[in-house]
Amino acid sequence: MSRDRPIVRRSWRRLLIASADAPGDVVEAMWQDRESVMRQAAMIKPGDRTTIVSPSDRAGRRYILKRSNLKGPLHTILHLLLRSRARWSWRNAARLETGGIATPRNLALLEERFGPVRLRSYLLSEIVPGEPLLDWTRSRGADDPDLARVAEAFGGLWNRLGELRLAHRDMKGSNFIVEKDCRIWLVDLDGMRRWPRGPLLARARNRDRARFLRNWQDRPEVEALFRARIDRGGQRGG
């Protein structure tokens, strides 16, 4: 995120926070009519929990816009006064950036509100060129040197998350993006939380580890490669 002071706009019905270098036309459209932006943008992922599209600015540069949806009366009531998922993603991206972990740069967030009550939220971020880790591994054999490089990079990322006392809580292979140089980016940060050192952090880390390794339950040789890199550093941070 930009080190410049973010731009903040608010009214009774919405709150907008944008980095100083966010695309002004897209941000203004989000403020005025975010649902029009959603309809006109290219669809990436429809869903009950989250809808993801790719709008573009006047110069043709594309971005990711994620809308966090309300799921039902009970879910809505429980989240009315809590930090929105877009706000959690914004905060967690700052934590990762400070900690040296690659994650897409967030440009703007918008919360639909009714006074202090939070409703749907939207998050605009940059696109990372690359391939989801799960798809990336499917096209490579266990003896591929790039697979070893990516496993090594993941081991470093895993240890750093432990040092930062962070648990991602959704370690699907699709939430890691691999660039051509084998660099790994971590995405989908709204569920990530920081824990105090001790049993709570250890339990959260163990759950993350188990979920991550399940990505390759049908490819034990790949699972063994990642498992070795994870366990070589121990459950650091736990």
CATH number at residue 86: 3.30.200
Shared domain for 108 and 31, answered yes or no, is yes
pLDDT, position 2: 42
CA nearest to 55, candidates 122, 155, 7:
122
Tens digits of residue pLDDT in 28-65: 999 999 999 999 999 999 988 899 999 999 999 999 99
Domain that holds residue 18: 7-125
pLDDT, position 218: 94
Largest CA distance in the chain: 58
Structure tokens at 83: 């930090």
pLDDT at 75 > cutoff 60: no
Shared domain for 76 and 118, answered yes or no, is yes
% residues pLDDT > 90 (the chain)? 81
Shared domain for 120 and 154, answered yes or no, is no
pLDDT, position 76: 52
Shared domain for 97 and 153, answered yes or no, is no
3-state secondary structure of 56: strand
In a domain, 113, yes or no: yes
Q: Where are the beta strands (DSSP E) in the chain?
A: 7-10, 14-18, 42-45, 50-54, 64-68, 106-114, 117-125, 131-132, 166-167, 176-178, 184-186, 193-194
pLDDT at 166 > cutoff 60: yes
pLDDT at 211 > cutoff 80: yes
CATH number at residue 202: 1.10.510.10
pLDDT, position 117: 79
Specify the pairing of strand 166-167 against strand 106-114: unpaired
pLDDT, position 119: 85
Choose one of 125, 143, 159: the last residue of a domain: 125
Q: Pick the residue with more confidence: 35 or 78?
A: 35
pTM of this structure: 0.90
In a domain, 76, yes or no: yes
3-state secondary structure of 152: helix
Tens digits of residue pLDDT in 176-200: 999 999 999 999 999 999 999 999 9
pLDDT, position 72: 59
pLDDT, position 1: 41
pLDDT interval class at 237 (50, 70, 90): low
pLDDT at 210 > cutoff 60: yes
Q: Which of 19-23, 91-95, 219-223, 234-238 has the lowest mean pLDDT?
A: 234-238
Which sign, positive or negative, has the C-alpha torsion 220, 225, 229, 234? positive
